[in-house]
Amino acid sequence: TVLGEAMQQVQQPPKVWLNSSSATIYEDTRGDAPANTESSTRIGSDFSMTVCQRWEAAFWAALPEGVRPVVLRTTIVLGDGSALAPLAGLAKVGLGGPQGPGEQYFSWIHLQDFVRAIDHLIQTPIAVGLYNLAAPAPVVNREQMRLLRQAVGRSFGLPLATWMLRLGAVFMGTEVELVLKSRKVISERLPELGFSFDFPTLAAALQELLGR
C-alpha cells in the first residue's frame, strides 16, 4: 500500500511493478488431481494462504494507473543456502528417506531459472498479471528424497515420521507445513511467453547444485 502511494506521487513511476507472492496460496493438491496453474481457482483458507490473498489484494488496490502489474507466485527456490541445504544435510547423515506420508508434492524452481524468468517478465511488455514461477515437473516427496540421496551419493535414507517433523519444526522455529503441505504447481503462462527452463527436472537441478 505504501509503495503504491509513493508511486502515485512521483513524476515518473516505474514501468512495471513485480509483486512477490507465493505458490502456497493454492490448496493442498494430492494424487491424480491436476496441478495448480495460473488459471486455478483452488485457493485455500489456512494461515499462509490467507496471508497471500491479502498481500495480493493490497497490491491490486494500490496499483497506480499506467504501471504494468506482474504477480510472482513463486514455488520453493533451489540454490546455494536455500531450503535445499537442510534437506541435503539430512540425506548425508542417513535421514534422507520419505518425510511424513511421502506422497505430498514438492514444487520448485532452480535459482538460475528464477532469475531468468524475472528478467523475461520485465523485458516482455505483454507480461501482465499472475505468473507461477515453477519448474514443469513437480514430484512427490518420496521421489524428491530419492533424487536428493542420489545427488549426494547416499543409497539409503531413514524415513522421518510426521511426529518427528513436528518436533524438529519446533526446535528450528519453523512450520512443518513447509514439508507436509502438498504443492503441485506448474506454470502455463511462462511457456506461452516463450520462456524455456534450463532445469526442467529436479534430477538435473540437484545434480547441478549438489554436484559442484
Give the pLDDT of residue 38: 97
Give the pLDDT of residue 171: 75
Give the residue ranges of the chain where pLDDT is below 50: none
Radius of gyration of the CA atoms of the chain, in A: 18
pLDDT tens digits, residue range 28-79? 988 899 999 999 888 988 888 999 999 999 999 999 999 999 999 999 999 9
Give the pLDDT of residue 31: 87
Give the pLDDT of residue 212: 66
Question: pTM of the entire structure?
Answer: 0.92
Q: Are strands 129-133 and 139-140 parallel, antiparallel or unpaired?
A: unpaired
